[in-house]
Structure 1
Amino acid sequence: MALTSRVVHSDPDILGGTPVFAGTRVPIITLLDYLEAGDSLEIFLDHFPSVTRQQAIAALELAKKMLTAYANSA
């Protein structure tokens, strides 16, 4: 998936292979944790300036596609 490689990166030398936003050390799960806690995307982006708005939105779109595909296959 080309979109995945532009948004998500996983390397054993970076946070033990935890999926992070490409070009950063910010775990993808951190965005989901912020949203789950009721924080806005703006707050997340303010706290993690190395993540661009485009990356965050692309990660959410990717999660939506993956969840939809998972639900449709069940």
Structure 2
Amino acid sequence: MKFFWAQEEFPDMREDSVISVNPEVMSGIPVFRGTRVPLQTFVDHMGSDEDIRDFFDGFPTVSREQAIKSIDEVKERSLVTT
């Protein structure tokens, strides 16, 4: 499962979004706001057999709340492609 999110296609990106797209941060790939953790890393982890706690242990700058909200945002914007 891969993400598609281009900021220029989503000019209405909400300020309260937990996802950030900024060309100066990780070359503009979607990351959790306030971190350099790519959203794709979380999606890949969710699709694996690993325990979700391993993700949070490996990326302590991402909160559980951010992760849950990111799922809602992805569903809202239909950002997941197969």
Gaps of 5+ in 2: 1-12
The answer to which structure has the higher strand fraction is 2
Instruction: Give deviations 1:28-59, integer Å, cap 9, x for gaps.
Output: 01001111122232111111000011000111
Matched, 1:53 2:64: yes
Gaps of 5+ in 1: 68-74
Whole-angstrom distance in 2 between the partners of 1:22 and 1:15: 12
Whole-angstrom distance in 2 between the partners of 1:66 and 1:6: 12
Which position in structure 1 is the counterpart of 2:26?
A: 15
Q: CA RMSD in A?
A: 1.7
Runs of 4+ in 1 over 6 A off after TM superposition: none
The two structures have a TM-score, normalised by structure 1, of 0.76
Whole-angstrom distance in 1 between the partners of 2:24 and 2:42: 21
Which position in structure 1 is the counterpart of 2:50?
A: 39
The percent identity for this pair of structures is: 36
- Higher relative CO (Cα under 8 Å, sequence separation at least 6) belongs to 2
The answer to which structure has the higher helix fraction is 1
Which position in structure 2 is the counterpart of 1:24?
A: 35
Aligned residue pairs: how many?
Answer: 66
The two structures have a TM-score, normalised by structure 2, of 0.69
